[in-house]
Structure 1
Amino acid sequence: MTEQSEKKPKREYRKGNPLSNAERKRRRYKKLIQEHKMVKFYISTQMKTYFIEKCNLEGVTQTEVIRKLIEFFISDGQSIVDSLKKKC
């Protein structure tokens, strides 16, 4: 019986011994990078300021706005590209 219990992995969290904040953050970040990918781009400072203000007024996060824009582009990308070309 002791051989079996030695082979089993031990539980990482036990009642009375909670994870530290640092460990919780590490685990959350590890899970996040497995399920998501980062998109990085640069815009003008003025545009970023307006974007932050607009998001605050609308009560949405910047991530939500950009995610919806990307979803819209993926589902109906041709019309967005055409409208961008017409404006330029």
Structure 2
Amino acid sequence: MTREIKLNELTELLETATYPLPVETARTEFDDVQLVYADGSERLASLLARVNDEQFASPDEAQSSIYSAIPVEGVGEPGQSEGEG
């Protein structure tokens, strides 16, 4: 059964793991998680395959690495920047 997790729920999910957490272990542990973006969704395991780290030391480090691998259209409206306005 697939668990759908929104981006704002990612921190809570990552805090359920034991650290340090190898990325390969995270891919297995979160294989059933579908990460829901602002524009679509993606399996968390697929996203973790694009992360350059081998291991996460903490939930914060895991979240930072995951966020850096999310497509730009996944975090808001295309072309939108939180710094503009």
- Give TM class, smaller chain: under 0.3
- Please state which structure has a larger fraction of its residues in helix: 1
* TM-score, normalising length: structure 2: 0.23
TM-score (normalizing by structure 1): 0.22
Which structure is richer in relative contact order (CA contacts within 8 A, separation 6 or more)? 2
